[in-house]
Amino acid sequence: MIKNYLKTAFRNIRRNKLYASLNILGLSIGLGSFFIIYLFLQNELAYDQFHEKKDRIFRVVQSLDNVGSHEFNAGITPALGPAIRENVPEIEAFSRLDNWNKSIIVEGIKDSLDNVQTASVDPEFLNFFELNIVAGTKENALENDAGMLLNESKAIRYFGTAQAAIGRTIKFGKSSPLLVKGVFKDLPKTTSIKAEAIASILAVDSYRGDNMTKWNLSYGDQLYVLLAQGVDSKTASEKVFEVAQEKSKGVLFQDLQLQPLSDVHFSLTTAGPVQEKTDKQYVFIFTLVAVFILVCAVFNYISLALSQSVERTKEIGIRKVAGAVRFQLFRQFITESVLHVSLSFIVAIILVELLTPELENLIGRDLEFSVLGEPILLAESIIFSLVVAVLCALYPAYLSTRMSVVQIFRSGRGSFSTKRL
C-alpha cells in the first residue's frame, strides 16, 4: 500500500512540476533559514555549559558608576584572590586568570617560536574548570610553579603525539622552562576561556614579582571563584566586597559583584579580555525570527497545497467511487507531504552546509555545532521535519476528503475554497 502511495506521489510531482518546485523550494528556504538560526542559537546558548560545576562558578566584577552611565569591569587586582580565599569561607576555590596570547619556545625543537592562547591561572583552577585529560595527569600539574598543561592540537603539532609531549619543556618568554605534565582535549569552541596552554600565573607572569600582592596595581586579570554547595551568591558577594574594602583601605573599589559563569558570554557591558560576547536580547530576537520564518514557510506550503487540492477534487471523487475510504485518502495526502518535506529537508541541509561558513564569517567565530556533524541534532531535525510534514498535510487533507462524491461531481471542483485558510 505504501508503495502505491509513493508511486502516486511521484506521479503527481511529475504532472505538476511547477507546483512541486515552488512548494519544495519555498519550504527548503524556510527550513534552511530556520536550521541556520537554530544552529546559531544552539551555539550561543552552549557557551560555558560543559563545566560540571558551572552553577557554582562566578566571576568577580567591579561595578563602576560614571557620570551618566553604569559600567562593569572584569579587571581585578591580583591581590584580591588570595585575600577572599582566606577570609570568605563561602568560597571553596579561586583562580586568577591572565588569558592572552603568549610567546613560547619549545625546547629541543628548531624554529619552535610560537604564540599560544594561554590561561595563566592559580592551581585551584583545575579543581572547578572541566578538562578532559588525554595524556599524563592534571593532578598537582601547576604546583610549585614548575608544570603546565598543553592542548592536544598543540601537543601533536610540536611532538607528534599527545603522549610524546609528556615530560618535555616549554618556555614562556623570559620565565623558567615549564614541564608538560598533562595534555588535555581541545576545549570546545563555546568557551569564554580560550586556552591552548594552561600554566601557573606566578610562573608565566613571574616578571610581576611583589606587584602580585599590591592592592593598588591591576594587570587586567580576571578572578573566578567556586562557591561552596548551597551558598547564596549575593551573600558571598557582600562578603567579598567587605574584604576588598578592608584590605584596600576603602579607596579602591566602588562595588564588587559575583557574575555567574553563564552570564560571561552575554556581558556586553563588562569590560575585559573576553572577546566573543553576544547581547542576550539577540537570542530572544533570533528565536522569534526563526519561529516567524518557519510559520511563514508552513503557511505558504499549506496555501499551495490547498490550491492544488482544488484541482484534484475529481481525482478524489474517482478514488471514492473506486472504494477508497477517507483514512486511505488521508494517508495519501500525508505520504505526498512527507515526500515533499523530505526533498525540502535535503535541499535545506545542502543550503545550511553551504551558508554556514558565511554565517561564521559574519559573526566572526566558528560554530561548535553542525547538522551533519551531530547525529543527535540530525535525528532531531529529521523528526522535526516529519512533524512539519504531517501538520502541513492535515488541513488540506481534511478539506479535500470531507466532501461526498455527489458534491464533488455536482460542482465539478468541489465546494470548498482556499479563502477559508
CA 49 from centre of chain: 9
Band (pLDDT 50/70/90 cuts) for residue 326 is low
Identify whether the C-beta of residue 366 lies closer than 8 Å to the C-beta of residue 360: yes
pLDDT at 418 over 50: no
Task: Give me the pLDDT at residue 144, please.
Answer: 84
Grid cell listed for 366? 566558528
What is the number of alpha carbons within 13 Å of residue 64 lying toward its C-beta? 14
State the pLDDT confidence band at 398, using cuts at 50, 70 and 90: low
Grid coordinates belonging to 238? 557582600
Letter for the amino acid at 328?
Q
Percent of the chain past pLDDT 90, that is, above it, reads 45
Res. 421 pLDDT band, cuts 50 70 90: very low
Residue 234 has pLDDT above 90, yes or no: yes
User: What's the pLDDT band for 251 if we cut at 50, 70, 90?
Assistant: low
Residue spans per domain, the chain: 2-47+280-420, 54-271
Return the pLDDT at 300: 85
Kindly report the pTM of this predicted structure: 0.80
How far apart, in whole angstroms, are the C-alpha atoms of residue 421 and residue 45?
A: 36
Write the Ramachandran bin of 230: left for phi over 0, alpha for psi from -120 to 50, otherwise beta.
Answer: left
Mean pLDDT of the chain: 84
Specify whether the CB–CB gap between 397 and 220 falls below 8 A. Answer: no
Give 5's pLDDT tier (boundaries 50, 70, 90). Answer: low
Tell me what pLDDT residue 400 has.
59
Nearest-angstrom CA–CA distance, 241 and 361:
41
Task: State yes or no: pLDDT of 323 exceeds 60.
Answer: no
330, pLDDT greater than 90: no
Could you read off the pLDDT of 148-201 as tens digits, one per residue?
999 999 999 999 999 999 999 999 987 889 999 999 999 999 999 999 999 999
Can you say whether the dihedral through the CA atoms of 304, 305, 306, 307 is positive or negative? positive
Q: How far apart are CA 178 and CA 106, in angstroms?
A: 10
Taking only the tens place, the pLDDT of each residue in 15-64 is 777 878 888 898 899 989 998 998 889 889 999 999 999 999 999 999 87
Beta strand 178-184 with 147-151 is: parallel
Q: How far apart are CA 103 and CA 115, in angstroms?
A: 5
C-alpha cell at 303: 496555501
- What burial class does residue 154 get, using C-beta atoms within 10 Å of its C-beta: 0-12 exposed, 13-18 middle, 19+ buried? buried
- What span, in angstroms and rounded, lies between the C-alpha atoms of 76 and 94? 13
The DSSP bridge partners found for residue 187 are none
Q: How confident is residue 66, by pLDDT bands cut at 50, 70 and 90?
A: low
